[in-house]
Amino acid sequence: MAKILSQKFYDEMKKLEPRYPTKVALLLPALHQAQSETGWLPPDVMAEIGEYIGIHPAQVKEVASFYTMYNLKPVGKYHLKICTNVACCLRGADELVEHCEKKFGIQCGDTTADKKFTLMEEECLGACGTAPAMMLNDDYVENLDISKLDKLLDSLK
């Protein structure tokens, strides 16, 4: 099987290996490292990770599909994950989602045609005290309202 992941991926894994009791325990960091290279986790990347770790690709997918931080389909340059759990909902998260759907002309779960934005709902981000909250790629944005969200989105190139 031709390799898709870079030498940097394998170097990174070699560095991490001594810190984990088994190679299987490397699965989450391997998924994270792979996604940072490819932006999402296509089946051939999951197969390569499985081969490296020594498990079946279905087991890799089983784990990757459990965690929402792993992308099983391509995402846009800016990936918005708006928490719609209780605390955020009570403070207007649904309106934020609806606002983004209208602004981007997409439904939640979709990516804009120019591949700039992907919009998703997310479960509790652990930022209930500063609800409503969302993640923009790897960063938290808290105490959101429509005007703050618009300002942020307009500032993204």
Binding site for ligand FES (CB under 6 A): 83, 85-88, 124-128, 131, 133
What's the min distance (Å) between Cβ of 100 and ligand FES?
16
Sheet strands side by side (includes 117-122): 117-122, 78-83, 134-136, 139-141
Nearer to ligand FES, 76 or 132 (CB): 132
| CA separation for the pair 5, 33 (Å, rounded) | 9
Give min distance, CB of 144 to ligand FES, in A.
10
> Does residue 147 sit in helix, strand or coil?
helix
User: At closest approach, how far in Å is the CB of 154 from ligand FES?
Assistant: 24
Between residues 34 and 127, which has the closer beta carbon with respect to ligand FES?
A: 127
Backbone conformation region of residue 54, classed left if phi is above 0, alpha if psi is from -120 to 50, else beta: left
* Nearer to ligand FES (CB atom), residue 33 or residue 84: 84
